[in-house]
């Protein structure tokens, strides 16, 4: 299993852990299917009242899709299969509060998950970046989701600078992506503590508040996301050119952390 779940029946808090540390918790089809199934299961489990989402180890929360994953695409620019579209809680109609605990790198497709969490708590060593443009890909879903959480200029810079820059946990806190910083050893405790407080409140008002918060931006978000497949189809380099750019992946030493 590439996903672990734990549940504390006394607090009503479930902890969901991406468990592929050797792959920086990158998401393959199996992990994507497990995430979808987990969120759907939580919809029907009234004992789960709040959720913490994190990654295994201290190196990475999630680095997006596993690049060894082969996702065949139709030839039509009007059709695109994205294996990450259904990995988030809101994509699965789960309106129980989710707190993301970011314990290292969070980049690329990780924003599908962060974009659907209620708030983010990060370890002090965490970093955020979006590598799409570096590797010849359009940052569409990721940029749109982060634009709902961060100032426009910050999202634009992160999306366009690719692997040349990483946003520190401190900067992410200053710009509103992160709501709390914690030492690495205390990250999970900080997230579960907040989740336990929320879970202790009456369920109906909590879920109603979650729905109200998301309704404030849902129309804009939905309209923007509807453009994403076409922008990706038009702007992505052919797979073989992307592969060429990925040749140097993992050897970037010149990035700046701000």
For 28, 80, 197, 199, the CA distances from 62, given in Å and listed in that order, are: 11, 23, 26, 25
Torsion of CA 241, 245, 247, 252, to 10 degrees: -170
pLDDT of res. 83: 79
CATH superfamily of 3-73+83-184: 2-enoyl-CoA Hydratase; Chain A, domain 1 (3.90.226.10)
- Share the mean pLDDT of the chain: 92
Q: Which two tokens stand for residue 55?
A: 């990654």
Residue 251 has pLDDT above 60, yes or no: no
pLDDT of res. 249: 65
Q: Distance between CA 114 and CA 176 in Å, rounded?
A: 13
Confidence of residue 256 (pLDDT cuts 50, 70, 90): confident
DSSP 202: -
Summarize pLDDT for 121-177 with one digit per residue, the tens: 999 999 999 999 999 989 999 999 999 999 999 999 999 999 999 999 999 999 999
| Better-scored residue on pLDDT, 73 or 85 | 85
pLDDT of res. 88: 96
pLDDT of res. 1: 78
Torsion of CA 28, 33, 39, 42, to 10 degrees: -130
Contact present, 25 and 71 (Cβ < 8 Å): no
Domain residue spans of the chain = 3-73+83-184
CB atoms within 10 A of CB 160: 14
Residue 250 has pLDDT above 60, yes or no: no
Contact present, 181 and 169 (Cβ < 8 Å): yes
- Give strand ranges (E) for the chain: 3-8, 13-18, 50-55, 60-62, 98-102, 105-107, 119-123, 127-129, 165-168, 180-182, 256-257
């Amino acid at each position: 299993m590439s996903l672990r779940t734990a549940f504390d029946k006394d607090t009503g808090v479930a902890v969901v852990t991406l468990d592929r540390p050797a792959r920086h918790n990158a998401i393959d089809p199996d992990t994507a299917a497990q995430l979808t199934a987990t969120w759907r299961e939580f919809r029907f489990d009234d004992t789960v009242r709040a959720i913490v989402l994190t990654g295994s180890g201290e190196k990475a929360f999630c680095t997006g899709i596993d690049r060894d994953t082969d996702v065949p695409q139709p030839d039509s620019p009007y059709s695109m299969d994205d294996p990450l579209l259904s990995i988030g809680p809101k994509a699965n109609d789960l309106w129980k509060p989710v707190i993301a605990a970011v314990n290292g790198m969070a980049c690329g497709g990780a924003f599908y998950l962060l974009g659907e969490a209620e708030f983010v708590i990060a370890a002090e060593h965490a970093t955020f970046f979006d590598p799409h443009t570096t590797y010849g890909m359009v940052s569409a879903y990721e940029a749109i989701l982060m634009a709902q959480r961060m100032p426009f200029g910050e999202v634009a810079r992160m999306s366009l600078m690719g692997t040349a820059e990483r946003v520190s946990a401190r900067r992410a806190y200053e710009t509103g992506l992160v709501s709390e910083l914690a030492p690495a050893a205390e990250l999970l405790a900080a997230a579960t503590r907040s989740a336990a407080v929320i879970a202790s409140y009456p369920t109906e008002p909590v879920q109603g508040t979650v729905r109200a918060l998301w309704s404030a931006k849902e129309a804009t978000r939905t309209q923007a996301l509807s453009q994403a497949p076409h922008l990706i189809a038009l702007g992505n380099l052919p797979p073989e050119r992307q592969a060429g750019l990925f040749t140097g992946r993992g050897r970037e030493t010149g990035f700046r952390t701000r």
